[in-house]
Amino acid sequence: MNREHRRSLIIGSGPAGYTAAIYAGRANLAPLLYEGIQPGGQLTQTTEVENFPGYPEGVTGPVLMQDLRKQAERFGTEVRSGLATKVDLSQRPYVVTFSDGVEVEADTIIISTGASAKYLGLEDETKYAGMGVSACATCDGFFYRGKTVAVVGGGDTACEEALYLAGLASKVYMIVRKDHLRASDIMRQRVEQHERITILYEHNTVGLFGDNGVEGAHLVKRLGQPDEEHVDIAIDGFFLAIGHHPNSELFADYLDLDETGYIITEGATPRTKVPGVFAAGDVADPLYRQAITAAASGCKAAMEAERYLNDQGLL
Residue 68: in which H helix or E strand, if any? helix 61-74
Average pLDDT over residues 257-269: 95
All structural domains of the chain:
2-116+244-311 (3.50.50.60), 119-240 (3.50.50.60)
More confident call, 262 vs 40: 262
Assign 252 a pLDDT band (cuts: 50, 70, 90): very high
Task: Report yes or no on whether pTM surpasses 0.95.
Answer: no
Average pLDDT over residues 245-263: 96
Q: Among 244, 248, 309, which residue's Cα sits nearest to residue 111? A: 248
Distance set, CA 111 to CA 160, 212, 256, 277, 281 (Å): 28, 38, 13, 8, 8
Position 233 scores a pLDDT of: 97
Residue 123 CA to residue 105 CA, distance in Å, equals 41
Average pLDDT over residues 23-28: 97
Is the pLDDT confidence value at 145 over 70? yes
- Tell me the pLDDT tens digit for each residue of 80-125: 999 999 999 999 999 999 999 999 999 999 999 998 888 999 999 9
Position 46 scores a pLDDT of: 61
The residues carrying an active-site annotation are 136, 139-140
Position 118 scores a pLDDT of: 87
Helix (H), strand (E) counts: the chain? 7, 19
Residue type, 282: D
